[in-house]
Amino acid sequence: MSTERITAGRPRSSSRSTIEEAAAELFLEQSYGGTTVDEITQRAGVSRATFFNYFDAKSDLLWMDADRALDALDARLANGAELIDAVSATASEIGPERVPLAVTQAEVMGTGEELVSSGLVRVGRLVSMVRAAIMAHPPQEHDELVVAVRANVLAGALVAAWSTWIRGGVERRPLSRYLDEAIALVQL
């Protein structure tokens, strides 16, 4: 993946996963907003500076699962996979337990501004990826507006599928069902 060690040097301790676990615990106990980075690193037995070696922002902790999925999608697209195929393949790796902390937190603490905006950052990333994929497979379309609309529409459908799947609760169908249905709705 991204964090592959190449040469020698001081090896990473298990800091990353330790931090993730400490954060998950604390968020359950105190909620996201009620937990400081200091508390997380203290429980993880790690210095505060180390936290920012591993995460760009506290809100990254809410979206680790989503980010990993987006990374996987990105990798497939970089390999030249067709967009819809790449989406399907990535979705098939997302089991029912892969509900981002952000969602459980939203239920507990309402939809804070930070929660919304950090989540929308991921949507923005998805839109960028979709647009790049569309432009890489140009079905003779170069009109700026048409490309922009297609990218936003497709990304919007994917997000709708994903969020509906999330809200489906325990008895929901697999994510791929929702995706197929959503994509069918926007295929002209």
Site mask for DNA (CB under 7 A), range 51-70, x = bound: -xxx-xxxx-----------
Applying the rule CB under 8 A, the residues between 141 and 180 that interact with its own copies are 144-146, 148-153, 155-157, 159-161, 163-164, 167, 178
Of 49 and 188, which has the nearer Cβ to DNA? 49
Tokens 């990798």: give the residue: 75
Letter string b/e over residues 38-68, b meaning 16 or more CB atoms within 10 A of that residue's CB:
eebbebbebeeebbeebbeebbebbbbbbeb
**The entry of its own copies, DNA, none that residue 52 binds, CB within 5 to 8 Å by partner kind:** DNA
CA 116, chain centre distance (Å): 13
Q: Which of 123, 132, 174, 176 is in the footprint of its own copies by CB under 8 A?
A: 123
Q: Which of 36, 111, 128, 152 is in the footprint of DNA by CB under 7 A?
A: 36
Applying the rule CB under 7 A, the residues between 8 and 27 that interact with DNA are 8-13, 15
Measured CA to CA, the distance from residue 30 to residue 40 in angstroms comes to: 11
Burial of 187 (0-12, 13-18, 19+ CB in 10 A): exposed
Query: Which helix H or strand E contains 136, and what residues bound it?
Result: helix 113-136
Applying the rule CB under 8 A, the residues between 8 and 47 that interact with its own copies are none
Range in contact with DNA (rule: CB under 7 A) among 48-56, 72-80, 83-91, 120-128 = 48-56
**The entry of its own copies, DNA, none that residue 175 binds, CB within 5 to 8 Å by partner kind:** none
Tokens 């979705």: give the residue: 91
Query: Which helix H or strand E contains 166, and what residues bound it?
Result: helix 144-167
- Taking alpha carbons only, the member of 186, 135, 125 closest to residue 161 is 186
Residues that bind its own copies (CB under 8 A): 56, 113, 116-118, 120-121, 123-124, 144-146, 148-153, 155-157, 159-161, 163-164, 167, 178, 181-182, 185-186
Residues that bind DNA (CB under 7 A): 5-13, 15, 35-38, 45-50, 52-54, 56-59
